[in-house]
Amino acid sequence: MTARSGSFWDYLGRLAAGLAAEGCGCGAVLPDVDGGLLFALRDAAGRRHVARLRPSGGENRERGPSFERGTAPPAMIRRLRRAFLRFAARNPHPLLDHRGQDIGEILLRRGGELPEIWREELVPGTTRWSSFVLEELVPQSGALYATFRDGERRVRLRLTDREDPRLAGAERVLPVGNLALSLVEDDRTPPVRPADQVERFLAYLVARTTGPRTRIRGDGATSPSVTSYGGEVELNPFLPEGRQGASGMAAALSSRRGSRLKVVVFGDASCRQTFPPLRRLPLFDSWSCFPVGTAPEPGGWVAYDFSERDVIGGAERRLERLLRALRRRDPAVRIALVQTCVSRLIGDDVRGVLRKVLDDDAFVVLDPDFQAKDWAVDALVWPWVLRAFRRPVRQRRNLVNLVGLGGRGAPWAAELAGLLRDCGIGVNARLFPSFREEELERFDAAPLTVASRCSIVRSAFAGVDRTAGPSRWVTLDPPFGIEGTRRWVEGVVREIGGGPLRGAARDRLERACRARRRDLAPIRAALRGASIALVAQSRFSAWIFDPAEIFGIRILDLLTELGLEVEIFLHRDVPPPRELVRAVEGRGDVTFRTFDEAGALREALAASRSRLLLTSIRRNTPALALGKIPVFVQTFEPGLDGAVRSARRLAAGARFRFLERYGRYMRR
């Protein structure tokens, strides 16, 4: 009898029955992950015991079967031992053997044959553990991936060397000698019964068929990745794991289940051109250029990381494979392929390949030039995204699309929708910097699209022909701060044709604003007298006063609403921005001074009582050295609750005294 002809699970069931028939009180036999066997026993008095047959491989090789008794009486174990040997002699099973002890190294070649040692034991379609059937076994990148399936449930395990760097982040790892099993995918609902513990079976099998010194090695090919970030991450077979782990945008680059749009970055995964669209990073991440919150947003980014092989031999074939795989997964897939420097240097015929696999309207090739500005990719991709998913739909009254306020998962999304609902307006679709396809499909159902007034949104949607679509496109100041949010809601109501907000709706909005002002009051009280410095050192840093450059935030209004006094330091040569002059006029909570050189600024800042400092520089060492707490534009969130949260952050910053004392040691 071989493993091929019957499942080991069934065999162990028979073994347990056989042992029970011999009066051993054995209820079940289970494999242990180190190659041992566990026996569930019950003695005459009905007490439960567990005995363990040590794996007799490796060091124990010469000793023959030896049992760990546990709490069981010695006589019981002696009987068990005899009965077990008898049964095994009569019903041999290859997995009771220890083989492969002398194997030094298992070489896994990508696309190559499976190692001889498992030819018998691991047969896709045949090998089973209880109701799980081994579906697929693929060697890749120095690892062996085994997928077991039971109906809808799938478990994917990876066998690697124990030193494999991929194990660093893995959650469940079973060491087997020098090897290790880790869970890559798991659809089982916990707690997992032994009958479903395929990893137990596989670990046992590996332990019995390899030696304690066996190592596993691959030919360095690429492999599926398992990086996860904000959940729902799908395997991306086209990015070598090492790279994914290495780059901070690992997750952003892996494709997520459920999105029909895949943005294929064709070239180096860390190409800077791939950064700008990846705006679903955490709120305080230095790469985030947009306050999107930490909520996971649908992405669908597939980085096609070039290997040396691709650069020299061209990557067309591998691209075709990628496209076919994506298409197989979803016949309606939409591909935006972003070219990178390398891909253009080698000059692969990407359009030809795309056309071979996809219909013309299912893809777009984004060709930002070599020195692409940060928003070049956005300007290319967003109009297409809208075009690719928009469907002709009947228009419905009182629906609005929101552009530039994040997707459905943004922390403020529900609140804003609620405020509009109170005015009888429904949110139809949200777009930028993330989106859901089902929302885009019905984009045209809304007669009105409200975009945030800021340059990033303007650049991203510059190519959208706003008059062509049935949805009227208007631009409003985004809802930052309580006042700002109120104005925004009123603006939306006005634009949708409801005229000025009146009656019950108006009352509801006022009530909501009042409630938040009440929440804000104690924070404002805590902030009393605290102030924040805004510095424009040159013409180029005057952007902090320009709402268009900071997501539409009117920073002076917002800061004072949140309870801060503002000190402005302006270089003498910087003409005071109009916005600023208007805002400062006749206001006691805003002071204004000029300086003429860096030393003077430092002195002025040192003397100033502002503890906070608005900056765009992550490690603003001069500011830190002066004991200032850096505040970033990303600190501010839209919406009423967002305003309260922003104020809390500022208050926490103002309370933070550490830098005042120790900041000067952070000079470098």
Give the residues lining the site for another protein (CB under 8 A). Answer: 109-110, 219-221, 308-316, 345-348
Instruction: Kindly state the smallest distance separating residue 100's Cβ from another protein, in Å.
Output: 22
C-beta separation of 180 from 163 below 8 A: no
* Structure token digits, residue 411: 């922390």
- For another protein, give the closer residue by CB, 140 or 531: 140
Give min distance, CB of 349 to another protein, in A.
8
CB of 266 to another protein, least distance (A): 14
> Cβ 312 to another protein, closest distance in Å?
4
CA atoms within a 13 Å half-sphere pointing along the CA-CB vector of 451: 20
Q: How would you classify the pairing of strands 67-68 and 48-53?
A: antiparallel
For the CB of residue 369, give the shortest distance to another protein in the complex, in Å. 20
CB 332 within 8 A of CB 260: yes
Smaller CB separation from another protein, 195 or 345: 345
What backbone torsions phi and psi does residue 458 show, to the nearest 5 degrees?
A: -60, -45
Give SS3 for 569.
Answer: strand
- Comparison of 314 and 383: residue with beta carbon closer to another protein: 314
> Minimum distance from CB of 451 to another protein (Å)?
42
For another protein, give the closer residue by CB, 239 or 523: 239
186: Cβ–Cβ under 8 A, 6 or more apart, which residues?
154, 155, 156
Query: What's the min distance (Å) between Cβ of 342 and another protein?
Result: 9
Q: Which is nearer to another protein, 309 or 619 (CB)?
A: 309
Pick from 478, 644, 458: which is nearest to 554 by CA?
478
**What's the maximum distance between 2 C-alpha atoms anywhere in the chain?**
100
111 or 586, CB closer to another protein?
111
- Please choose, from the candidates 188, 295, 264, 173, the residue with its C-alpha nearest in 3D space to the C-alpha of residue 226: 173
* Buried/exposed 499-526: b ≥16 CB within 10 Å, e otherwise: eebeeebbebbeebbeebbebbeebbeb
Residue with tokens 């050192």: 537
CB of 320 to another protein, least distance (A): 13
Q: How far is the CB of 464 from another protein (least distance, A)?
A: 36
Looking at beta carbons only, is 296 or 314 nearer to another protein? Answer: 314
Nearer to another protein, 220 or 331 (CB): 220
DSSP secondary structure letters along 614-639:
E-S-TT-HHHHHTTPEEE-GGG--BS
Name the residue nearer to another protein (CB basis): 310 or 637. Answer: 310
3-class SS letters over 257-325: CCCCEEEEEEECCCCHHHCCCCCCCCCCCCCCCCCCCCCCCCCCEEEEECCHHHHHHCCHHHHHHHHHH
Phi first, then psi, for residue 252 (nearest 5°) are -60, -25
Give the whole-angstrom CA distance, residue 449 versus residue 273: 28
Cβ at position 344, least distance to another protein in Å: 11
Residue 317 beta carbon to another protein: minimum distance, rounded to whole angstroms: 9
- Give the E-state strand segments of 319-358 in sequence order: 334-339
Strand partners of residue 148: 134, 155
Nearer to another protein, 219 or 374 (CB): 219
Matching residue, tokens 């990508």: 110
Q: Residue 93 or 110: which CB sits closer to another protein?
A: 110
3-state secondary structure of 465: coil
Q: CA gyration radius for the chain?
A: 32
Report, in Å, the least distance between residue 386 CB and another protein: 34
Cβ 220 to another protein shortest distance, Å: 5
Please say which residue, 75 or 312, places its beta carbon nearer to another protein.
312
The answer to whether the peptide bond before residue 194 is cis (omega within 30 degrees of 0) is no
**How far apart are CB 346 and another protein at their closest, in Å?**
5
> Measured between alpha carbons, how far is 400 from 420 in angstroms, rounded to an integer?
9
Looking at the Cβ atoms of 349 and 510, the one nearer to another protein is 349
Q: Establish whether the linkage from the previous residue to 433 is cis, with ω within 30° of 0.
A: yes
Q: What angle (nearest 5°) sits at the alpha carbon of residue 500, between those of residues 499 and 502?
A: 115
Nearer to another protein, 348 or 437 (CB): 348
The residue written with tokens 């799908």 in the block is 234
Of 23 and 313, the one with the shorter C-beta distance to another protein is: 313
Q: Minimum Å distance from CB 316 to another protein?
A: 7
Question: Which long-range CB contacts under 8 A does 508-513 form with residues at least 24 apart?
Answer: 508/422, 508/423, 509/419, 509/422, 509/423, 512/419, 512/422, 512/640, 513/482, 513/485, 513/486, 513/640
The C-alpha atoms of residue 51 and residue 40 are separated, in whole angstroms, by 7
How many angstroms separate the CA atoms of 137 and 148, rounded? 9
CB of 244 to another protein, least distance (A): 19
Instruction: Say how many C-beta atoms besides its own lie within 10 A of residue 220's C-beta.
Output: 11
Of the pair 110, 648, the CB lying nearest another protein is at 110
**Gap between the Cα atoms of 92 and 89, Å rounded:** 6
